[in-house]
Amino acid sequence: MTLKKLKTHFAESLKGLYPSEEILSFFHILAEEYLKLSRIEIALNPEKIVSETEIEKFQKAILRLQNHEPLQYITGKTEFYGLPFKVNKHTLIPRPETEELVEWIYREFSNQQSTINNHQFLDIGTGSGCIAISLAKNLPNAKASALDISEEALKIAQQNAEINKVEVDFIQMDILKTKTLPKKYDVIISNPPYVRELEKKQMQQNVLKYEPPSALYVSNEDPFLFYEKIASLAKNHLNQNGKLFFEINEYLAFELTTLLEGQGFKNMQVKKDIFGKDRMIKCNLNEPAR
């Protein structure tokens, strides 16, 4: 089979399941992964013969895509904040809004590189390690730690730290059961589960069927379960002037702000993502507003 015919077969097999532009993007990503061919090389060599082994790889990918499996799980990797990351069924696929959270934190501290030497950052619920690793890469004077309940997720996170040549102290811990954190920190960050069961109907099939539910969902009755516990721990484990950053449910910013203020946090700042949704909160202890 030629590249041209393979491309046509791929597009026809997924027609109606995904937008045509997305299908084309899938094909080029897989072509680079399986054939080591760039988009330009594909365009210049439409009659290139594809081997049976390579065709079989594409066919398996087609079947998985027809079942709405995320492409990132098929290739086993993704990009986040300009860095390469491995992902699998034990880790969430990092989202663009989480990149915005990392960018907010980076901008907060990037001009203080000379003064944040040995500052301690903790990422709670790290998953693939994307937040901690991205900050460790871009704020090399800081010390990054990350924890997660999942041993399998932490294995991937450790591999990602090695791929990106950064040091992160990874810790396996159930945040809901712990009464204390390993030490004190200058910054605590978390993108905890925050999607309520009632919001599942808004989720796409690839998320519902494949991404780890324990990293996504909370009950309708207790949507702040993780925020409340993390804030409680942060009160005792943030250094003076320490900051707390959360990614949040867009519908619950006001309620979460009220909860955090009740826990003694000050200087609340809610930040919208590029789509205008309330998606991040920053607050602190014992620091005057700027």
Under DSSP, is residue 204 helix (H, G, I), strand (E, B) or coil? coil
User: CB of 79 within 8 A of CB of 94?
Assistant: no
Binding-site residues for substrate sit at 191-194
Average pLDDT, integer, range 51-60: 96
> pLDDT category, 99, cuts 50, 70, 90?
very high
Has this prediction a pTM greater than 0.75? yes
Element (H or E) spanning 268, and its range?
strand 266-272
Instruction: Return the minimum-mean-pLDDT range out of 14-18, 45-49, 148-152, 196-200.
Output: 196-200
- Give the DSSP letter of residue 199: G
Is the pLDDT reported for residue 288 higher than 50? no
What was the pLDDT predicted at 187? 96
What was the pLDDT predicted at 289? 44
Measured distance CA(127)–CA(57) in Å, rounded: 28
Under DSSP, is residue 2 helix (H, G, I), strand (E, B) or coil? strand
> pLDDT category, 117, cuts 50, 70, 90?
low
pLDDT averaged over the chain? Answer: 92
At 190-216, the pLDDT tens digits run 999 888 888 877 777 777 788 888 788
> Whose CA is closest to 85, among 123, 122, 131?
131
Cβ atoms within 10 Å, residue 252: 17
Amino acid at site 133: I
Measured distance CA(265)–CA(285) in Å, rounded: 5
Is the pLDDT reported for residue 3 higher than 80? yes
Binding-site residues for S-adenosyl-L-methionine sit at 125-129, 148, 191
- Let me know how long the chain is: 290
Measured distance CA(20)–CA(8) in Å, rounded: 12
User: CB of 240 within 8 A of CB of 286?
Assistant: yes
Under DSSP, is residue 95 helix (H, G, I), strand (E, B) or coil? coil
User: CB of 172 within 8 A of CB of 148?
Assistant: yes
Instruction: Return the minimum-mean-pLDDT range out of 81-95, 206-220, 227-241.
Output: 206-220
Average pLDDT, integer, range 46-65: 96
Residue 77's beta-bridge partner residues? 86
Is the pLDDT reported for residue 96 higher than 80? yes
Binding-site residues sit at 125-129, 148, 191-194
Max distance between CA atoms of the chain, in angstroms, equals 67
